A and B are shown apart, each in its own frame.
Chain A
């Protein structure tokens, strides 16, 4: 019984891993269908919780969701197999690509293609910037953090890990201070 559930977890998340192009929120409907509707492992409400957690913990959403659901269904072994399953398809595909991509990139036509594609990728990142900006709650603090993080990383070359940690600390400090003021 246990074995059957574990293997189901593994193969279900392998399927999810194989079909989430671009990662992130694109996989929400797939998780909903496979995990909640088809298997009944979690409820739709759990899914909201999972994505709330995934947002405030590091790491790709796919990994967070797999670990969370796997643990819920089958403990540590479930968490491990679900995570392994979700990673495996991209691991195999990218390993195969790694064998050929370098040689492939030496072909003249491919180099031209990538010259165009890099400009296309820039457009994708600009789009991501716009949508993340729209989602971000606006306040004096958040404008200041946006500007300082940009300047620190792009122009001053300050270590990105340090910048992320300082931004989190600044957010925490401002929240606690304003709460104390509000409480007093």
Chain B
């Protein structure tokens, strides 16, 4: 039963992922919360794990949630679920490639989907911001999170690789933890 749930849930996620990784965070968050698979903070932790390992986020999170909830069979079901929609759709589209490329229906839908992706990522910023700043552990922890966020933002816009940003923010977290801030 859990296998079917995993397959279906990640099939939905795979079928509605546009604009890559972060745009689907709100959807994944809603699904993993509804099934009690992961807390909000664990999901954000996993974003960092996924950035530091190969493979698309959608596939990584599917494999991880599947393995956690249903062992190796669960991992296979969830991963198959997330991959199947694009697999099927590409097989169909490849056949009618020229029609698809010039289709006004497709470009019309895309003119709504592109800004939707922006709105969804903005929504991810808000919910991830809540997991960073809202669990109130005192002013020092709040300021420390703000400091790490600001510094990371600087590094990110200096075009440092995401893995380096993750390592630096992790090291800062440990240092501040030992200093008694977190």
Whether the pair B89, A146 counts as a contact (CB closer than 8 A) is no
- B78 → chain A, closest Cβ, in Å? 10
Q: Which of A4-12, A31-39, A133-141 contacts B (4 or more CB under 8 A)?
A: A133-141
Q: How many interface residues does chain B have, given as a range?
A: 35 or more
Who on chain A is nearest to B109 by CB?
A: A168
Q: Which of A39-85 contact B (CB under 8 A)?
A: 49, 52-53, 55-64, 67-68, 71-72, 76, 79, 83
Docked-complex contact B116 and A94, CB < 8 angstroms: no
CB distance from A166 to the nearest CB of B (A): 8
Do B165 and A59 touch across chains, with their CB atoms under 8 A apart?
A: no
A18 touches B115 (CB 8 A): no
A122→B149 contact, CB < 8 A: yes
B169 touches A116 (CB 8 A): yes
A160 in complex: contacting residue of B30, B60, B118, CB < 8 Å: B30
Does more than half of chain B's interface fall in helix, strand or loop, or is it mixed? helix
Whether A58 lies near B18 (C-beta < 8 A) is: yes
Q: B-facing mask of A108-128, CB < 8 A → 1, else 0?
A: 110111111111111111111
Most buried by B among A111, A164, A172: A164
Which residue of chain B has its CB nearest to the CB of A120?
Answer: B169
Contact A83 B87 (CB under 8 A): yes
Most chain-A CB neighbours within 10 Å: which of B25, B100, B125? B125
Name A134's closest neighbour in chain B (CB-CB).
B118
Asked, given contacts A117-B173, A119-B148, A126-B153, whether A133 binds B45 with beta carbons under 8 Å apart, the answer is no
Known A98-B75, A101-B49, A154-B127; contact A117-B17, beta-carbon cutoff 8 A: no
